Amino acid sequence: MLDDKNLLEQRDPAGALAVAAAECDQAEFDVDVWNGDNDHRPIVNVVVAGMGGSALAAIVVKAWLKERLMIPFEVLRSYDVPAYIGENTLFIASSYSGNTEEVLSALEQAELKGAQIGIIASGGQLIDTAASYRIAHVALPADLQPRMAVIYNLRALVGLLVNFDIVGREQLDVIQMNAAWLRDESTRWGADVPTDRNYAKQLALEAVGKTPVFYGGALTAPVAYKWKISWNENAKNVSFWNEYSEFNHNEFLGWTSHPVEKPFAIFDLVSSFEHPQILKRFEISDRLLSGMRPKSTVINLAGDSVIAQLLWGSILADFASIYVAILNNVDPTPVRLIEKLKQELA
């Protein structure tokens, strides 16, 4: 079925597969920080406000640059900001649409507290605010689903961190250096590559009709979260995620009770750069849970650096979940129920 070109075009009318194939190009996004004047006030912490796919880049940065971030870095997914935010906080409001109400609420509070502000959006109220009050911001290319603009968002976030002297510009260069390799890898998952040679299609066939659970380690937790998002929004398929070693302190036991036959598909997202004990936990946990849950499918993230592996896994998530959408006979692009929820909240 996944090798039927006509069927793929029929069930993917907005071209989600083509969007996924172009995600590698986002690694070369030329970041322009508008109104980027930096008064060089001492910054003692960074808070990035965002929801869903717009928060994901910040979660990636926190895992990827944990050894380079010399100050606390928090990802805020709420209407309200913590009390410690003040004039020495770098507060970054991230919303692809520019209209996410939680982010707008948090931004208003951060401004009242005198925080240093940065903004990432493709339009909407956030870009209007940035232009009106000359706030440092990065304007993202428009007309994508936020979950498929993660690398754009990552480049923009790192660009703002560079602007405010939180990290060095070489981190932007590291992302860009992976663009050509990611392009080559993405061609392996395209619609014209048959299933017997297409890893993304194989993963989709393994997961279709089931509820997938994605597990990551300390480094790969952002990718596990990305796979959950992609499955929810592309495939319109419920899914869950967790990370090691927290998994072993609670959820581990949740698999041991009946019924033995459970309609799940288990995926372990593994990095060669992960802590050795985390790697052991993946293997030992799967062995100890034999017969109590489906055996895990290990996805070894490719790439010669942490960021290369995180980007590789993020793009593969979209390809695989779009193929599941096609198998589920749903359009992978729109998120109509989310839009309806926003309208009713308004």
| Weakly modelled stretches of the chain, pLDDT under 70 | none
| DSSP conformation class of 293 | B
Structure tokens at 296: 């895990």
137: three-class secondary structure by DSSP: strand
In this structure, what are the phi and psi dihedrals at residue 216, rounded to the nearest 5 degrees?
A: -125, 175
Residue 37: the pLDDT is: 83
Distance between the two ends of the chain, CA-based, in angstroms?
41
Structure tokens at 52: 């869903």
In this structure, what are the phi and psi dihedrals at residue 255, rounded to the nearest 5 degrees?
A: -80, -10
| Helices marked H in the chain | 5-11, 16-21, 53-64, 101-112, 124-132, 150-163, 170-177, 179-187, 199-207, 221-233, 251-254, 276-288, 306-328, 336-345
pTM for the full predicted model: 0.96
The answer for residues whose C-beta is within 8 angstroms of residue 76's C-beta and 6 or more apart is 47, 48, 49, 50, 82, 106
Q: Tell me: the pLDDT tens digits for 99-121?
A: 999 999 999 999 999 999 999 99
Q: Are 94 and 157 contacting, i.e. CB atoms less than 8 angstroms apart?
A: yes
Domains of the chain from N-terminus onward: 5-14+190-328 (3.40.50.10490), 17-179 (3.40.50.10490)
Structure tokens at 322: 């779009």
- Round to whole Å and give the CA distance between 41 and 163: 12
Please report, as a single letter, which amino acid is at residue 336: R
List 210, 262, 275, 342, catalytic entry:
342
Q: Tell me: the pLDDT tens digits for 231-270?
A: 999 999 999 999 999 999 999 999 999 887 889 999 999 9
Residue 261: the pLDDT is: 80
List 5, 40, 67, 249, catalytic entry:
249
List 23, 185, 233, 274, catalytic entry:
233
- Clarify whether 137 is annotated catalytic: no
- Clarify whether 23 is annotated catalytic: no
- Clarify whether 342 is annotated catalytic: yes
Residue 346: the pLDDT is: 85
